[in-house]
Structure 1
Amino acid sequence: MQSLPEEWRENENTDPQKEEEKESLMMELTRLVQKTVRESSWWEQRGVDCTILAVAFISLPAAFWLLASCQVLYFTLGLLAMGVAHTVITVKGTHLASHGALSESLAWRHFWAIFFIEVCGSFTARAGVRAHVKMHHAHTNVIGLGDSSTWKVPFLPRSVYLFIAPLALPIITPIVAMKQLKGQPLWVAVRTVVCVCVGVCAQYMLLCCVSGLECSSALLVMLLSRAMFSVPYIHVNIFQHIGLPMFSLTRRPKRIYQMSHGVLNLPRNPLLDWMFGHSLINCHVEHHLFPTLSDNMCLKVKPIVSQYLKAKSLPYQEDSYLARLYLFFHKYQELMVFAPPITELVGVQ
């Protein structure tokens, strides 16, 4: 069993005043962040990210047009443009929509969640929000609940899991979505099936009618564009949590300790920042502490969060993409096959 510094070891006679101080750390940080949010314009809060999503949609007609070309260069550019646009929409868009970060209106939040997750992402909105928001965020790094266990496939060899299996995500996602409909109300199941079919069929028909591709070519382009960035997507999902302190449901620290120890930021990367969003790359700590903030706002409050955690002697964990890939490749059995050991942040439960 892993343990952390001696000063955090549990004491049966815990000082209530110290416990109150620990509880107030999150409240104090929240006040600092909320002050910054209130002082920010709509453009900073939502406009930047909405514009990025709009650009992704606007680029699609050009992608379909380029895919109609017989020249290899233009066709390749069209495939790349479609892959980037699809990733921005289905990763950044679905992530923001699942957290309700695209609008203040509850009705619009519900609409965007269904549109991005079901129509664009080929998954069920209800199950997606539950798995990500209500499980992963509520129980971050709690074994069996929010430990990214949905991305573990322990029977696969490490090279297959890390570099080949993610390419099957476009096929696996709608299949898993259909399985998630079991036990759901009939109207939810019907809505999900219709929305997923609309999204998939719309792309297929446009590839056939606008790009002039044959059936097999259209299906291949769909697969390639949807799988283009699935490898780094899976990497990001596991790199930022697995291998960090893990907790049990009955012995878990207070929120600020849980997130500061169990979440890691990757460095800024122009391509991944654009496609996945800051909250999934270089502001993941900020995102887990304040999940309803948009990507741009997470970036804006990043200096506040990092300085505060360091000032309070709490970890602010960062590591490079290559360093995490090296770690997972060489410790695959320990991190991905066997259950990680539970960490006791003793004294802060």
Structure 2
Amino acid sequence: VPGEPMEPAEPAEPAEPARDGPRAEALLHELEALVRDVVRSSSWWERRGVDCTILALSLLALPAGFLCLRSDNVLVFAIGITILGVCHYTLTVKGSHLAAHGALTDSKRWSKIWLLFFVEVCTAFTAECAKHGHVTMHHAYTNVVGLGDSSTWRLPCLNRYVYMFLAPFLLPILTPLVAIEQLRQVELRTALRTLGLISLGLYSQYWLLLNVSGFKSPSSALVCMFLIRSLLAHPYLHVNIFQHIGLPVFSRDHKPRRIHMMSLGVLNLPRLPLLDWAFGHSIVSCHVEHHLFPRLSDNMCLKVKPVVSQFLHEKQLPYNEDSYLARFRLFLRRYEEFMVQAPPITELVGLQ
């Protein structure tokens, strides 16, 4: 199906030694055929329309959020913060994620435009670095030590309580600072474009708070920007570590075949309405499906989930699922092992 390739965006490299490589490849091709049938039978609305509508509604809700902040009523003001915070994360997390994978449109030109809008204007991050780090590295080398093992989320200098409860508040501040630091890795023209788009996004929100929401001082507007951009920072950080860290990790020379890598090293959380809306199914409850088929939209990941889970269970392959609360407790209990110590390499005896 045009725009919905089943094969991963993984750089070519020599096949790793595998005792049962052909069987693993056959399993993946069989699963791809099942998912392809579901995609072919789906309408444009199911493949892209649902998610595009959610993003459009988030943009349309922004004026209401800014106007609510004009109110002296505490409840109305809190509603404004909530609207703007949820919309911010919908555009920056869901929008950036879908745009990075080219899941919003078949057009390469529009994919680039949406990537720049969601990643640089809305998120205040570098589009090229975001796509390289997430798509080229994390997806191609999921849970491979030093390449796609989510090690960027580890901060061993912090204790478990500071990391889990306080560190998320740093995300709105660190995101543009890290983006600026990464500009050294790109061409001058790209760096200037990125600086311009990041500045446009940050200043637009600041200007709207002053001129639409009616904030009287720059400091109060900046504090409000921080509140908006940190509203869902805690679940965002938690979800990113819950889905991969603590699961089997591999070395580059002995990584498993793709179907084993994704079934072993990826975890689904249960459906959570707020996070489903703001982060997207592919980041929360359909992360296994997303890693197997990264070009599918959030709604399509949800639609193929029964097919993928049934197939993996029938073939006696892992299909990792756990609750948000259970993972939270697990990370608090085993924080030193997961987030501070070097993870042990998984032995793939009998697997492939």
Quickly name the TM-score band, shorter chain normalised.
over 0.9
Q: Does the residue aligned with 1:204 lie in a helix, a strand or coil?
A: helix
Asked whether 1:291 is paired with 2:294, we answer yes
CA distance in 2, matches of 1:158, 1:222: 27
Deviations 1:36-69 (A, max 9, x none): 1111100000000001111111110000100011
Within 5 Å, which residues of 2 pair with 1:1-349? 14=19, 18-213=20-215, 214-348=217-351
CA distance in 1, matches of 2:92, 2:203: 16
Q: Normalising by structure 2, report the TM-score.
A: 0.93
AA partner of residue 29 (structure 2): M
RMSD: 1.2
Deviation at 1:287, TM superposition (A): 0.2
Alpha-carbon distance change, 231 to 13 in structure 1, aligned in 2, over 3 angstroms:
closer
AA partner of residue 43 (structure 1): W
Deviation at 1:346, TM superposition (A): 2.5
Deviations 1:268-310 (A, max 9, x none): 1111111110001110000000001000000000000000001
CA distance in 2, matches of 1:107, 1:142: 32
Identity of aligned residues (%): 59
Question: Retained in 2: the 8 A contact 1:267–1:319?
Answer: yes
Which residue number in structure 1 is paired with residue 4 of structure 2? none
Deviations 1:309-343 (A, max 9, x none): 01111011100001100110010000000111110
Which residue number in structure 2 is paired with residue 9 of structure 1? none
CA distance in 1, matches of 2:311, 2:38: 14
Deviations 1:145-187 (A, max 9, x none): 1111111100001001011011111110000001111131111
Question: Retained in 2: the 8 A contact 1:243–1:335?
Answer: yes
AA partner of residue 262 (structure 1): G
CA distance in 1, matches of 2:109, 2:18: 49
Q: Does the residue aligned with 1:27 lie in a helix, a strand or coil?
A: helix
Q: Normalising by structure 1, report the TM-score.
A: 0.94
Question: Retained in 2: the 8 A contact 1:254–1:348?
Answer: no
CA distance in 2, matches of 1:273, 1:339: 32
AA partner of residue 69 (structure 2): L
CA distance in 2, matches of 1:210, 1:190: 29
Which residue number in structure 1 is paired with residue 11 of structure 2? none
AA partner of residue 112 (structure 2): H
Deviation at 1:19, TM superposition (A): 3.3
CA distance in 2, matches of 1:19, 1:56: 45
AA partner of residue 260 (structure 1): S
Alpha-carbon distance change, 210 to 142 in structure 1, aligned in 2, over 3 angstroms:
same
Q: Does the residue aligned with 1:250 lie in a helix, a strand or coil?
A: helix
Alpha-carbon distance change, 79 to 19 in structure 1, aligned in 2, over 3 angstroms:
closer
CA distance in 1, matches of 2:191, 2:347: 41
Which runs of 4 or more aligned residues in structure 1 lie more than 6 Å from their structure 2 counterparts after TM superposition? none
Q: Gaps spanning 5+ residues in structure 2: where?
A: 1-16
* Aligned length in residues: 335
AA partner of residue 47 (structure 1): G
Q: Gaps spanning 5+ residues in structure 1: where?
A: 1-11
CA distance in 1, matches of 2:33, 2:320: 22
CA distance in 1, matches of 2:127, 2:282: 20
Question: Retained in 1: the 8 A contact 2:18–2:256?
Answer: no
Q: Does the residue aligned with 2:267 lie in a helix, a strand or coil?
A: coil
CA distance in 1, matches of 2:18, 2:294: 34
Deviation at 1:347, TM superposition (A): 4.1
Deviation at 1:216, TM superposition (A): 1.1
